[in-house]
Amino acid sequence: MANNDQSGADMSHGDSRFQPNADAVYNRIGEESVLINMKTNQIYELNQTGARFWELLCAGHDRSEIQQLMLQEFDVAEDDLNREIEAMLISLKDKGLILDNRG
């Protein structure tokens, strides 16, 4: 799930904490991962990195921790991953799937 819309606020702060919205339901069946917004009945298919991002977010990791863990797990350049995480956070927030817990 990648979204190149950069209209949202910059979410690149290392200590940024987000949490899944209670209306968001995640389901993995084999290699397929979907995220469902129960409020809108929208279904979003997640690729492998998107699914891992969601799992780490649900485990309570902050943005910086998620990025470091994903750098260890995936063969990706840090700048590319940073952009993808930023786009993912903006997309999830815009779709009402996560809540921003920054003070």
Which fold, 18-97?
A: Outer Surface Protein A; domain 3 (3.90.930)
pLDDT at 89: 94
Instruction: Please tell me the distance from the alpha carbon of residue 72 to that of residue 89, in angstroms, as a whole number.
Output: 20
User: Would you list the domain boundaries of the chain?
Assistant: 18-97
β 98-100/18-20 pair status:
antiparallel
pLDDT number for residue 12: 47
Percent of the chain whose pLDDT exceeds 70: 83
pLDDT band of residue 17 (cuts 50, 70, 90) is confident
Tens-digit pLDDT profile for residues 38-58: 999 999 999 999 999 999 999
